[in-house]
Structure 1
Amino acid sequence: MTVGPLDRAAALDAADPLAGHRSRFITPPAGELLSYLDGNSLGRPLEATAELVGEFIRKQWGGRLIRGWDESWLDWPLTLGDRLGAVALGASAGQTVIGDSTTVLLYKLARAAVDARPGRRTVVLDTDNFPTDRYVLEGVAAERGLRLEWIETDPAAGITAEQVAGVVGDDTALVLFSHVAYRSGWLADVAGINRVAHAAGALTLWDLCHSAGSVPIALDEWGVDLAVGCTYKYLNGGPGAPAFAYLRHELQGELRQPIQGWMGHRAAFEMGPGYEPAAGIRALLSGTPPILAMVPLHANLDMLADAGIEAVRAKSLLLTDLVLDIADEWLAPYGVEVAGPREAARRGGHVTLRRDGFQEFLEPLWDSGVIPDYRRPDGLRIGPAPLSTSFTEVCQGLTVLRDLLEKARR
């Protein structure tokens, strides 16, 4: 007898070693949420996060007041950065810092990188990268008189080492790509692309927004030069949570970021004339760190360390396997196509489904308590976060989508 998706989902839930983590998340009131499939855009909050934020406001901010800066807050961008590096990024201590937005950190690192390769006038990027990445590099190129070399990438796939090898050369200063493509979920060969870029003498900058906390990352092992990423997706840091930046040890004395603020100064509280950058990763700081916004990361890194990124990845692949199976069995008859990689080695944490007119299904899905993500043109991103999402929840959400497609066909 053929086992259907609902039965497969129930069996997977019964065998799920990470199932217990779902109870650690705040649950919306009954009837408001049936299936949350947008963990790749905004992660759900933990019960521990609400407790930590309240405790911080009452005891640390309210109790210690300005003394908190000297007692611990000033070091949070570095100490939390080191913890994030160890738990999720494969980065040894002293190379990761938390603060600013992804956009600001991209700008800092990109400007520092191209300035560190004087005489090289070309920056390589791909046409389907996230808009911020493209816009920031357009601005940096305009400021520094550089040329952008665009690699045309298939929106249903992503960048490859072979494509990069075809364009980098003696004039390339920097290449910038995403580890997991925001639209298709394509998982890039970071180490392979780094080898190609480094052979040409270029630096590499990687966007980790759609992989941090979902896919195992080995920045040190892969030879990554620079990286940035956000903490509000799979790391559950909350709306607008601060981003992180990685700068390889060997480059920290060579690269100089352009936003010279007091927190990146060698001696911030001397308030002296002239800017002297701090030693090490602290030099990437500019203004006062967003301490309150960092509080949720303490709880979320504890949870990720407890679960283990390899176990998270294993469940993520099972979840997206289920999405692919349902797409083939239930949704394909309604004109739905998978617009992304099917093979596990090239698949990140989400699956994009495409069908003409998908946008008109968003409102009825939301009204039914099913929340996917939409990306133009006509793409529904299904991004189940492994620590907060059950297999049955995925199946329930896609059941509603199937029913809506059937209703639209009548």
Structure 2
Amino acid sequence: MKLSLYPAAGIVAGLTASATLTLATAPSADMTVQLQAPDGNAALPASVKIPAGATSAAVTVTGVRAGVEDVTAVPGDPGYETAFARVQVAGAALLKLVAISGDHQLPVASGALPDPIVVRLTDANNLAYAGARIVATPSAGGSVATAAAITDAHGQAAFRWTPGPATASQLQLALDGLPAVSLTLTSGSAAPVVTAVVNAASFAGGVAAGGLQTVTGVNFAGGQTATAGYPWPTALGGVQVLLNGAAVPVFYVSDTQINFYVPPDAPQGTGVLTVVTPSGTQATAAVNVTPFEPGIFSGAVLHAGTAISAVTTPVTAGDYIEIYCTGLGLTHAVGGLQETVIAPVVFIGAVPVTPVYSGLTPGLAGLYQVDVQVPAGVAPGIESLLMSVSGAHSNQISIAVQ
């Protein structure tokens, strides 16, 4: 005997979902199955009957409070095995709405957008949550065919949206009763769109706690460009970047690019990044925050103590070089400096080198400095330089060696 919520895998606290008891062989007589949920995080009926000749029965499961419930199903016939299942009951802090399809469509002359808006209610573990009511609120002049939809067994809900006449229209979707679980979708020629969230040094995909990041797209800043000195503000030129709803420091904005800093205590794992434009319109993107995402800035490998590039002016064995980068993770205070908790390994050609210093550049957040001595045995000519920390690798930079 098996007990499963499949294809859903969790329940929202306060809502119900359907589980299924299945048997490999049908009982010859009606069989009662006792259901036990001892932790109190989910509620089930005390028992369910599987009729003679049937191989399954539906069970209603109600989420009581956030947590994990270990459910036991004990068959009345000892010829069948006891079934066990673990049910995730999620509160608002664990849940998120993600767009599956239909975002960023261009409106037609009249009527609804060509494709439906499809969203999914899920969590950091990518579990699906069925039976949740999603409420839709269009911006001025817009409408939806149905103001609310219930997530199906895959956690998905669909809406037909007719945007308003503005060049940038929005559709706000939120979990009924839990408005913090929300998603904003956009449509129109002036609507902001996020195309990528990348490491500000390497432009590789990924987000690191404590790192400098870049978000690219269109229609971010209302045609303006602005920069800020350190310490960086959380709003620049009317533009904000939110990570899981919390504003993060921003130091450059334009219509197509924003540079920002992720605090080192940012929650790791999957999350949502939101760009808020000066007009209040929003664009979102799913991100995954990791502890390390090393990236070396272009042209930022220098002869130590100088502004001379090691890319254009050759180094020799025994020289010290400074590598300016981001995404090296947590730091701690050592002798007045903030050194990385885990030092990267630097590779010059195929030769691994241990840094003599790895930490934040004094007086700045997110910008790391790694100092190494060029080892003997590196072949003369143009050599590659990259770094690795805890299995995460940086982009490759070329330096000149003589």
TM-score range (shorter-chain normalised) is under 0.3
TM-score normalised by L of structure 2? 0.24
Higher percent of residues as helix: 1
**Higher relative CO (CA 8 A, sep ≥ 6), structure 1 or 2?**
1
Higher percent of residues as strand: 2
